[in-house]
Structure 1
Amino acid sequence: MSELRRHWTPTAVAYLVLSVAGLVGTWIFNAFAIVQMRDFIGDLVSSGPAVSSITVDLLVVAIAGSIFILVEGRRLGMRFAWVYVVLSGLTAFAFTLPLFLAMRQRRLTARAAV
């Protein structure tokens, strides 16, 4: 088995697929917002209680996930784990968390193989 594919477990691939879905799914709607010249932040907080509830829900999850990424990345010796947190602000947490989980799974698989 090639060195590149050795640590891609089914779990890591599943996380990677979710990461791509998170990136594509969120950016499609981001593009709609840009084309329609919407006030993205204003829409999040003023489009009714349901949207505000989802916003708070996802914000809390993103903060908890960011802490997890930083702590777990450090624990596993993953260099530059903070980049996932920064990228989440530029792309989407729906992209960066599954991407981190895929890379984490690869790290765990590599460590178990030693």
Structure 2
Amino acid sequence: MADLRKHWTPLALAFLVISILGLVGTWTFNALAIVQMVDFLGDLVSSGPAVSSITVDLLVVAVAGSIFILVEGRRLGMRFAWLYVVLSGLTAFAFTFPLFLAMRERRLTARGRETT
């Protein structure tokens, strides 16, 4: 059990908590949209300038973050880093990006301990 916990730094745990909050927060509203049979994609682009602004903002961040995941995952030798990008389409980028950051922190911690 100690072996499983050794790479969970406070920063990695913080990212993990943020990831879980991102999943619960987004899926609460996704479920509400499904129950209310709301046109989810239509609402993103036609609910006024403020919603459209937030949508564009988040899409640009998601694209930049996805590129970071792919490049950084490859640099650190993280297998299946592309899966975080794919899963973001099924869950939420608010979940997968902090989850990637948590796993990245664990990888960096493990690499740091290997060199010492």
Q: TM-score range by the shorter chain?
A: over 0.9
- Asked whether 1:37 is paired with 2:37, we answer yes
Q: What is the correspondence of 1:64-103 to structure 2 with a 5 Å cutoff?
A: 64-103=64-103
Partner of 1:21: 21
SS in 1 for 2:78: coil
Unaligned runs of at least 5 residues, structure 1: none
SS in 2 for 1:79: coil
Q: Tell me, in whole angstroms, the C-alpha distance in 2 between the residues paired with 1:36 and 1:17.
A: 29
1:59 CA drift (Å): 0.1
1:2 CA drift (Å): 1.1
Identity, in percent, stands at: 82
| Equivalent residue letter for 1:26 | T
Partner of 1:49: 49
Q: Tell me, in whole angstroms, the C-alpha distance in 1 between the residues paired with 2:65 and 2:32.
A: 27
Q: Tell me, in whole angstroms, the C-alpha distance in 1 between the residues paired with 2:55 and 2:2.
A: 43
1:27 CA drift (Å): 0.2
Detail structure 1 runs of 4+ shifted over 4 Å in the superposition: none
TM-score (norm. length: structure 1): 0.99
| Equivalent residue letter for 1:45 | V
Q: Tell me, in whole angstroms, the C-alpha distance in 2 between the residues paired with 1:108 and 1:3.
A: 16
Unaligned runs of at least 5 residues, structure 2: none
SS in 1 for 2:80: coil
Count of residue pairs the alignment pairs up: 114
SS in 1 for 2:96: helix
Q: Tell me, in whole angstroms, the C-alpha distance in 2 between the residues paired with 1:37 and 1:6.
A: 45
Alpha-carbon RMSD across the aligned residues, in angstroms, is: 0.7
Q: Tell me, in whole angstroms, the C-alpha distance in 1 between the residues paired with 2:32 and 2:102.
A: 29
